[in-house]
Structure 1
Amino acid sequence: MTQVQPIEFLDTRNLKRSSNRSTGKDKVSTNKLEKRLLRETGKAIADYQMIEEGDRVMVCMSGGKDSYGMLDLLLKLRDRAPIRFDVIAVNLDQKQPGFPENVLPDYLRSLDVPFHIEEQDTYSIVKRLIPEGKTTCSLCSRLRRGVLYRVASELGATKIALGHHRDDILGTFFLNLFFAARLKAMPPKLVSDDGRHTVIRPLAYVKESDLQTYADIREFPIIPCNLCGSQENLKRKEISQMLRQWERQSPQRVWNTFKALAHVVPSHLMDANLFDFKSLKPDGNTFEDGDTAFDEPEIELPDSVLTAFSEDD
C-alpha cells in the first residue's frame, strides 16, 4: 500500500516579516521567534491533521497569553496554509467579579475577527460548591467544557481549538504520574467528552516561555483569572517550578521527556491491556525491542563483538 505523505501546513520559506515596533537586533529576534512559533504550530497541525479543508475552527479565548498567541498564529497560518479554513473566536464570560467585559470584544473587532461572547455564571456555581481554599480547576474546567461544546454545535464549528502548550502537556503528564499513578497527558487531538466534537491543541509543540515573550512583544491585552489565579499552592504550580528548574539545568531533559510521549514502547512497560505479556513466548525469530531496548542509545557494539558473545560454546 502506498503511504500518503502529509501536506505541510506551512511553507516556512515564504514567511512575511512581523510588523512589530522593534528595530535592529530586537526586530531580527522577534522575526525569528515568530517564524519558530509558526513553524512549530504548523508542524503540530500537520502531524496530527488537526485542521482540514473547509473546517470552521472555534478558537477558545480566555484572555490569557496562550489563547491570544494561538489566535494570532492561526490567523497568520490561515492566510498562508495550502488549505482553506475559517476561524471564529469564542469567549466564555464566567461572570467573575471585575471581569473587563469590553477588552476582548474591542480587541477582536480591531482584528476584524468573527467572535461570540457566551455569558454563563459558572463563577457563582464554583464558589458555592467548592470550599474556600480548595482547588477550583476541576469543576471550573468541567462546566466550561460543557458550555463550549454546546456553543460549538450552535456555531457549526468543526474543530474546537484550545491554547494548551508543550509545558501544559508535560505538566499534565507529571501530575498523572506523581499523583494519580497513570501514564497519561494531554493529546494534541481528541474527541470531546460528548463524542460530538474534535478538540485540538495547535500549540502542542510550543514552549510557554516563547509564548510569554511573544505576548510581551505583541502587547496583548491580558485579562487575569481571578477565580484560580490566586490559588498559589496548586500541584500544577509545583510541577511548573520543577520543569523551569530542569529547563535551566538541562533543557534537553525537558525536550526528551516531551518527545518520549510520542515514542512509547508498550512491550517494555507493564500494561497488560496494551501488550499481551501472558502469551509472550520465544519463537526463534529476532525481536527488535528485546533486551537491547535497555541499552543506552549511544552504545553501539561491533557485530564481531556481538557475535562472539552470542555463539554457543
Structure 2
Amino acid sequence: MNQNDNRKETLEFNKLQKRLRRNVGNAIIDYNMIEENDVVMACISGGKDSFAMLDILLNLKKAAPINFEVVAVNLDQKQPGFPEHILPEYFESLNIPYYIVDKDTYSVVKEKIEEGKTTCGLCSRLRRGTLYSFAEKIGATKIALGHHLDDIVETMFLNMFHGSRLKAMPPKLRSDDGRNVVIRPLTYCREKDLIKYAEHKAFPIIPCNLCGSQENLQRQSIKAMLIDWDKKTPGRVDSIFKSIQNISPSQLADKNLFDFVNLPLDREGERAEYAFNEAEISSTNIDESMFIDVTNV
C-alpha cells in the first residue's frame, strides 16, 4: 500500500469514526440516555457491536460535558468453547473497571428445553435477569447494550412476521419493575459502519457460536431481506427506522392506542379546508331539498 492509499484509508476511517461518535452522541441526547453521575454498565459479549459501543463510550466520556462512569461487564454463560481469557486481557489493556460474571445459563437451557425446540426465549430471560440483578449489585444506573439500527429494524419485522406484533427495540427502556434502565447507544448506527470500524480497530472479536436456533435462523432470513432491499433502494432501512420514530396511532388498528369505538360525528365547529370545493351533481333521482346547505353551517 503506497502513501496515497494510506492517506485515503486514514481519511475514510476518520470520517467513519466521526460519524459513529456523532450518531451515538445524538442518540444519547435525543433519549437522555446518560445523565450526570451515571454509572453505565456496558455489556460486552465479545462481538463487534459491543466492542464498538464500549470504545465509543470511553471516548465520548473524555469529552462529555457531564461526569459518568463506564464499567465493562461480560456474562460468561459457560457455552462450550468460549475463550474465557480474551475479554479480561482486553479490559486490562484498556485499564478500565470490569467484571466477568459467571452464570451457567447454557446448562439450564439445555436441561429445560427439548432438543430441536427454540431456546431463545428462556436464554434471553435468564441473561436479562442476571444482568438486571448484577446492575443493582454494583450500583449501575444504566445498562448499555450494543444493539444498532439494523438490529432494531430486524426485530420489528421478526415480531411482525413471527409474533403478529408491531414491536421493535426501544432506544431506552425501563424494566417492568422500574429498578433498571436499559439504553442502546448505537441506535442510530448502521451495522455496515460498525463492521468497518471493528476491522480497523482490530477488536479481539470472539466468533459467534450461537446455537442455530429457530429465532436466529428467522433473524438471518430477515437480515438477508433487508440487505436486498437496501441494495435495490439505498436508504430504505434508514427510512423504515425513521417510521418507527414517527408513529400515527389513529392510522393503525390498535384499539388500546387509539379509541376507534368512540368517534362521534361533530359538525358544529369550523370546517377544515378540504382539497376540493363542493362536487357538482350531474345526475340524481333524489330531491335536492333533502341536502343540508353546509355553506350556511
- What is the TM-score of this pair, normalised by structure 2? 0.87
Look up the SS of the partner of 1:87 in the other structure: strand
TM superposition shift of 1:230: 7.7
TM superposition shift of 1:234: 1.5
Residue 133 of structure 2 corresponds to which residue in structure 1?
150
Q: Is the counterpart of residue 257 in structure 1 residue 240 in structure 2? A: yes
TM superposition shift of 1:233: 6.3
TM superposition shift of 1:129: 2.1
Q: Give the counterpart of 1:306 among 271, 275, 279.
A: 275
d(CA) in 2 for partners of 1:122, 1:203 = 26
Residue 209 of structure 1 corresponds to which residue in structure 2?
192
d(CA) in 2 for partners of 1:35, 1:270 = 41
TM superposition shift of 1:310: 7.0
TM superposition shift of 1:118: 0.5
Residue 239 of structure 1 corresponds to which residue in structure 2?
222
Look up the SS of the partner of 1:261 in the other structure: helix
Q: How does 1:266-277 map to 2 (within 5 A)?
A: 266-277=249-260
Look up the SS of the partner of 2:42 in the other structure: strand
d(CA) in 1 for partners of 2:172, 2:197 = 24
d(CA) in 2 for partners of 1:206, 1:182 = 24
Residue 17 of structure 1 corresponds to which residue in structure 2?
none
Residue 36 of structure 2 corresponds to which residue in structure 1?
53
Give, as a single letter, the amino acid of the residue that structure 1 aligns with 2:44.
M
Residue 113 of structure 1 corresponds to which residue in structure 2?
96
Cα 1:282–1:71 change in 2 (3 A) is same
Asked if structure 1 preserves the Cα contact closer than 8 Å seen for 2:120 and 2:215, the reply is: no
Asked if structure 2 preserves the Cα contact closer than 8 Å seen for 1:135 and 1:234, the reply is: no
Q: Is the counterpart of residue 35 in structure 1 residue 4 in structure 2? A: no
Residue 161 of structure 1 corresponds to which residue in structure 2?
144
Asked if structure 1 preserves the Cα contact closer than 8 Å seen for 2:147 and 2:184, the reply is: yes
Q: How does 1:129-148 map to 2 (within 5 A)?
A: 129-148=112-131
TM superposition shift of 1:189: 0.5
Look up the SS of the partner of 2:75 in the other structure: strand
Asked if structure 2 preserves the Cα contact closer than 8 Å seen for 1:165 and 1:201, the reply is: yes
Deviating beyond 3 angstroms after TM superposition, the runs of 4 or more aligned structure 1 residues are 229-233, 284-288, 305-313
Look up the SS of the partner of 1:170 in the other structure: helix
TM superposition shift of 1:139: 1.5
d(CA) in 1 for partners of 2:114, 2:138 = 35
Q: Could you say what the CA RMSD is over the residues aligned between the two structures, in angstroms?
A: 2.2
d(CA) in 1 for partners of 2:36, 2:62 = 13
Residue 5 of structure 1 corresponds to which residue in structure 2?
none
Asked if structure 2 preserves the Cα contact closer than 8 Å seen for 1:158 and 1:197, the reply is: yes
Asked if structure 2 preserves the Cα contact closer than 8 Å seen for 1:57 and 1:160, the reply is: yes
Q: Is the counterpart of residue 188 in structure 1 residue 157 in structure 2? A: no
d(CA) in 2 for partners of 1:254, 1:227 = 25
Q: Give the counterpart of 1:103 among 61, 86, 93.
A: 86
Identity %: 58
Asked if structure 2 preserves the Cα contact closer than 8 Å seen for 1:96 and 1:227, the reply is: no
TM superposition shift of 1:97: 1.4
d(CA) in 1 for partners of 2:279, 2:185 = 48
Asked if structure 2 preserves the Cα contact closer than 8 Å seen for 1:123 and 1:227, the reply is: no
d(CA) in 1 for partners of 2:6, 2:270 = 60
d(CA) in 1 for partners of 2:56, 2:271 = 44
Residue 91 of structure 1 corresponds to which residue in structure 2?
74
TM superposition shift of 1:235: 0.8
Asked if structure 1 preserves the Cα contact closer than 8 Å seen for 2:149 and 2:189, the reply is: yes
Residue 9 of structure 1 corresponds to which residue in structure 2?
none
Deviates more, 1:47-56 or 1:127-136: 127-136
Look up the SS of the partner of 2:73 in the other structure: strand
Give, as a single letter, the amino acid of the residue that structure 2 aligns with 1:254.
V
Structure 1: runs of 5 or more not aligned: 1-21, 289-302
d(CA) in 2 for partners of 1:122, 1:167 = 27
d(CA) in 2 for partners of 1:124, 1:109 = 29
d(CA) in 2 for partners of 1:210, 1:74 = 16
Q: Which has the larger radius of gyration?
A: 2
Q: Give the counterpart of 1:72 among 29, 46, 55.
A: 55
